[in-house]
Structure 1
Amino acid sequence: MKKSLLYISLLSAAMVFSTGCKKELLNQNSPDKLTSDNFWTTRERAITGLSAAYSRIESFAGWDNFIEARSCREYYREDFVEPGSDAYNYSWWMEIYNYSYNSGNYAIDLLWKDNYRGINFTNQVLENVALMNNSQIDDASKSMILAEAHFLRAYYYFKLLTNFEKVILRDKVPNGENDLPKVPSSRNEVWDAIIADLKAAEPGLPLRGDRPATELGRVTKGAAQAYLGKVLIYRAGEDKGNAKAYFTEASTWLKKVIDSKQYTLIDNYLGMFNGTLTNSAESVFELQQTMDEANGAYYKSQLSDWIAASELGGYGEIYGTQKLLTEMLKEGKVATDGLYDHRVYNTVFFKDDYFNDAANPRVYGKTYDKVFENNTVAFRKWIPASLDLLGNPVAINMPIIRYADVKLLYAEAQNAIGFPDQALIQINEVRARSAMPALQLANTTDVFNQLVHERTMEFTLESSRFYDLRRWGMLQQKMQDAGRTFSTDKSYYPLPLKETQNNPLAK
């Protein structure tokens, strides 16, 4: 996939419909240039088109969108984080943190624009590859490419629907300017479209073990099943009246991932977040990066610089709060080796004997007191294993959904439909990876409360907390507890200003 990604710019120029182009320019034909009519002629070009569809995953394009805008959108809305001092120099960042943004916020505009680019690319794949004949592409490749495109379109719409109150369904490539103005769809229509795409994708995708090493990062059957489970659980949080049916179906899909035996929890938890481990047995779907610059490929970023504490030489744009640390330490030193839950050490640096051991200095060869002052809570996730990599782009793969999430989502679904004993099995298996003792919990309320804690321990700084709190109905109270300014009308982003200006039907 990486080699094909080199052609994205060429493909974009040839294929993306622009509302700013004049009709007479669009109508001209050039025999020596690629167009949507002559591009889709071989399997290799179909894969190149598919690579373009993959290219917008997590808005991994440029400094502004992936590093700054995405980080503010995904992290600053959480109750357990606070901005570093430099963040106050950027009003559009602090608007996100303070929930004072409006439709003109730059980060919101980028989120909308980039995911619709991804949708545009997937629509082109779905429309054009479907028309390719047997002399142009073999049936197996055609089926798989279409399945991947269905998954990707669902992924992009899920990103939009979980962030924007209103979403516009665009399920085909625009055929002229008259196709561009469109009213937002109902949320139920968009949920239905996401689920339909994922169900269309799942049968045509291979198991993880059937993907060759050259295709790491491409979607698998497990990814589609995991996302079906996740999407249905998120929908249950929004549609309480039908929640039991959604939780029941989610359980079925998530159980397929578990029963496939394609994934496992790995011991090296930190390795998934510091660049030393990629596409592990725990990874269900993962954003690919690489330090290999062969053939001009460039898939790395400076996200680590943005997140790393200034005391470590990073920009120090984000820190954990004392409330986060309190939550992560609340069970005490009950791990089998007498330490706290091992996930806390792999998520944050904090003042503790573990990080102040002069015989084994764990803060990049130093002790905590030699680096930090007072009770700083600095994030450890997404920081390279070697600090000398800071200051330049570095490749750290980003697990988008991993097996621990599958297991805890399955536990949540099972608990919601009345099987707390089944939920507890999954919770205890996830805890065991971090040397935590098994729990004995008596009822669904206790299991749910433990799930809230486990998701904090497992997924802090993995873009989960805000969305979890919202679907649980806990967002307003948690923001109040954190001393944050928040009102329920800020639970979703508004339609971006540029969309309402350019689309007269977007209201």
Structure 2
Amino acid sequence: MKNHLYRYLMIASLSCLTVGCSDDVLDEFPKDKLSSEKFWTNPEDAENSLVVAYERLNLGFWSHTEVAFVVENFGSDFVQAGSDVIANYPDQEAFDMYSVTDNNGRLEDYWNRQYRGISAANLVIHHVGKMTEEQISTDQKNKIVGQAKFLRGLYHMRLLMNWEKIVVFDFLPESADELLQPLSEREAVWAAIEKDFTEAAADLPATWDANNKGRATKGAALSFLGKAYLHQHKWAQAEQALKQVMDLGVYGLAPDFASLFDGSNELSNESIFEIAFTDKQVAGSAVEYAGIYNVAATEMGGWEAMLPTQSLLNEMKKEGKTSKKGKYDARLYGTLFFDDPDVSIYGKTYDDVFGEGNTKIAWKKYLFRSIAPWDAPRKYRSNINNVLMRYADVLLMYAEALNEQGKSGEAKVYVDQVRARADMPATTATSQAQLRAQIMHERAVEFALEGQRFYDLRRWGDEVMTTAIRSSASRGFQNFNAAEDKFLPIPSSEKANNPKIQ
């Protein structure tokens, strides 16, 4: 959807005003019934409103990395605050130190932006759902509403990954009173998420044409449905949903792991759903984010907002140089820069960049393939897409669902598919416990800095989570307490504005 999406970004801002959208979460419903009726009259209106719902996935130029990456990655044992955050941003550092309070600005920003996405999706579901056949064809209406339901499910899921309880808006509030809803139990939120993904899957196509590539598909809805089941330990349901994704015959593994994160292979057949960015001018502006400086180490010309931990490097080196090429796991070379003769940093050696005797580990993921940070013409600007769901995740989730049901022999096949892409030999794991440990390892090395690790640790249990974080030797590891830190506090502003939240 990269080209299709950004044709409408400026129109999206206008349509948001037309239908009553606002950056204030407490103000996101159409106040003028007449203007809403005038707007929702044709397919173009419906499409423009849908783009607003998609656009909310991008948290904004600065916030995409300084809020989303922080909230989704800093709590894990593999990511820690870098020098820029330590020196200048205590509200980001708090996530690294497990000292987040309910008045943390990054916390509030993440929470509010997901609800803005939910509001935008609800506007589409409500108004497009009421459009007549004279205004829009049934097929087009179903596809637009299906995409909005997928997005609403995804926004709710992003919230539930971080908070123990959230407010569910599976309807469009049409009065101030309807905006004041209590927190829902996790089971009820999961049910709403499952419903949205299931209904979306029923109405979305398996693929879109080239002009619409990147839109939510049946495979995206089923993949996130499978993930929702996995996080609830609903193994049989996860198996069923993920098998449907595989049976679509649409997806595969990209031969080059690193290409998925350096801008050279966007919207590949491994990508099931991703946030699209572009440096092309759209109505005078580009849709980029401040990624390069935040990810790149200071020695590479970056601000170094986040760094890998030694635990991540240890995990990636765990099997030694046993790949088919006589090297470490290919995912290590696609994820990190580290001191090794096989590592080239934009044509330079490790010592050339970091200095002899240095042992710093730095991110390679989300840096450009051919343009070094120190040479980037626009420095901190990045147009590298962020993949939210890819086929490797489907394969590993499917393997886990099978293994947890005692089908270890079947599960091993899918683990080995992912390992083969990384040039690694087939796993020697045979028992359920051995394969469980192997799957944990594969997920660790496959999805570093992709906002998965902390949530994986949590669903594997407090003991696994505590052991991993406490042994990571990251800056805040000693402060971690699973009972207190596995979920974030409800923002103080939300509690102040909504008397139904205690």
TM-score interval, smaller chain = over 0.9
- 1:175 is paired with a residue whose SS is coil
Per-residue deviation at 1:3? 1.2
Q: What is the match of residue 286 of structure 1?
A: 274
Per-residue deviation at 1:19? 7.5
Q: What is the match of residue 469 of structure 2?
A: 479
Q: Contact (CA 8 Å) 1:333, 1:340: kept in 2 or not?
A: yes
Q: What is the match of residue 498 of structure 2?
A: 503
Q: What is the match of residue 16 of structure 1?
A: 21
Aligned pair in 2 of structure 1 residues 266, 337: CA closer, same or farther (>3 Å)? same
1:414 maps onto 2:413 in alignment: no
Aligned pair in 2 of structure 1 residues 338, 498: CA closer, same or farther (>3 Å)? same
Unaligned runs of 5+ in 2: none
1:74 maps onto 2:75 in alignment: no
Q: Which runs of 4+ in 1 moved over 4 A?
A: 17-21, 25-29
What is the correspondence of 1:170-209 to structure 2 with a 5 Å cutoff?
A: 170-208=169-207
Per-residue deviation at 1:28? 9.6
More off after superposition, 308-317 vs 83-92: 83-92
- What is the distance in 2 between the residues matched to 1:197 and 1:123? 11
Pick the aligned partner of 2:366 from 382, 393, 396: 382
1:223 maps onto 2:220 in alignment: yes
Per-residue deviation at 1:322? 1.8
Per-residue deviation at 1:392? 4.0
- What is the distance in 2 between the residues matched to 1:125 and 1:467? 30
Q: Contact (CA 8 Å) 1:166, 1:494: kept in 2 or not?
A: no
Write the deviation string for residues 297-326 of structure 1: whole angstroms up to 9, x where unpaired.
Answer: 522112121001111111112221222111
What is the correspondence of 1:137-156 to structure 2 with a 5 Å cutoff?
A: 137-156=136-155
1:100 maps onto 2:99 in alignment: yes
Q: What is the match of residue 243 of structure 1?
A: none
More off after superposition, 91-100 vs 165-174: 165-174
Aligned residues: 481
Pick the aligned partner of 2:351 from 358, 365, 369: 369
Q: Contact (CA 8 Å) 1:6, 1:297: kept in 2 or not?
A: no
Aligned pair in 2 of structure 1 residues 4, 504: CA closer, same or farther (>3 Å)? same
Write the deviation string for residues 438-486 of structure 1: whole angstroms up to 9, x where unpaired.
Answer: 1232210000001111111111111111000000012222221124011
- What is the distance in 1 between the residues matched to 2:186 and 2:331? 36
Q: Contact (CA 8 Å) 2:415, 2:439: kept in 1 or not?
A: yes
Q: What is the match of residue 232 of structure 1?
A: 229
- 2:286 is paired with a residue whose SS is coil
Question: How high is the TM-score relative to the length of structure 1?
Answer: 0.92
More off after superposition, 476-485 vs 408-417: 476-485
- What is the distance in 2 between the residues matched to 1:505 and 1:457? 42
- What is the distance in 1 between the residues matched to 2:449 and 2:50? 29
TM-align CA RMSD:
1.7
Q: What is the match of residue 328 of structure 1?
A: 316
Q: What amino acid maps onto 1:458 in structure 2? A: E
Write the deviation string for residues 266-321 of structure 1: whole angstroms up to 9, x where unpaired.
Answer: 11211110111110010010111112214435221121210011111111122212
Q: Contact (CA 8 Å) 1:104, 1:497: kept in 2 or not?
A: yes
- What is the distance in 1 between the residues matched to 2:96 and 2:310? 17
Q: Contact (CA 8 Å) 1:225, 1:254: kept in 2 or not?
A: yes
Q: Contact (CA 8 Å) 1:285, 1:400: kept in 2 or not?
A: yes
Write the deviation string for residues 25-64 of structure 1: whole angstroms up to 9, x where unpaired.
Answer: 95697xxxxx32221001001000111111111x43231x
Q: What is the match of residue 242 of structure 1?
A: none
- What is the distance in 1 between the residues matched to 2:33 and 2:414? 59
- 1:50 is paired with a residue whose SS is helix
Pick the aligned partner of 1:340 from 324, 328, 342: 328
Per-residue deviation at 1:8? 2.2
Unaligned runs of 5+ in 1: 30-34, 237-245, 356-361
Per-residue deviation at 1:490? 1.4
Q: What is the match of residue 248 of structure 2?
A: 260
- 1:331 is paired with a residue whose SS is coil
1:493 maps onto 2:488 in alignment: yes
Q: What is the match of residue 61 of structure 1?
A: 60
Per-residue deviation at 1:7? 1.6
- What is the distance in 2 between the residues matched to 1:425 and 1:168? 40
- 2:307 is paired with a residue whose SS is strand
Q: Contact (CA 8 Å) 1:228, 1:253: kept in 2 or not?
A: yes
Q: What is the match of residue 48 of structure 2?
A: 48
- What is the distance in 1 between the residues matched to 2:172 and 2:427? 52
Pick the aligned partner of 2:392 from 384, 404, 422: 404
Per-residue deviation at 1:12? 2.2
Q: What amino acid maps onto 1:93 in structure 2? A: Q
Per-residue deviation at 1:11? 2.1
- What is the distance in 1 between the residues matched to 2:33 and 2:364? 54
Write the deviation string for residues 216-251 of structure 1: whole angstroms up to 9, x where unpaired.
Answer: 110011111111111100112xxxxxxxxx110110
Q: Contact (CA 8 Å) 1:3, 1:297: kept in 2 or not?
A: no
Q: Contact (CA 8 Å) 1:414, 1:420: kept in 2 or not?
A: yes
Per-residue deviation at 1:71? 1.8
Pick the aligned partner of 2:297 from 301, 306, 309: 309
- What is the distance in 2 between the residues matched to 1:447 and 1:94? 35
- 1:193 is paired with a residue whose SS is helix
Per-residue deviation at 1:180? 1.9
Aligned pair in 2 of structure 1 residues 222, 469: CA closer, same or farther (>3 Å)? same
Q: Contact (CA 8 Å) 1:19, 1:177: kept in 2 or not?
A: no
Q: Contact (CA 8 Å) 1:336, 1:437: kept in 2 or not?
A: yes
Q: What amino acid maps onto 1:495 in structure 2? A: I
- What is the distance in 1 between the residues matched to 2:450 and 2:31? 42
Q: What amino acid maps onto 2:468 in structure 1? A: K
Q: Contact (CA 8 Å) 1:230, 1:409: kept in 2 or not?
A: yes
Q: Contact (CA 8 Å) 2:322, 2:328: kept in 1 or not?
A: yes
Per-residue deviation at 1:20? 7.1
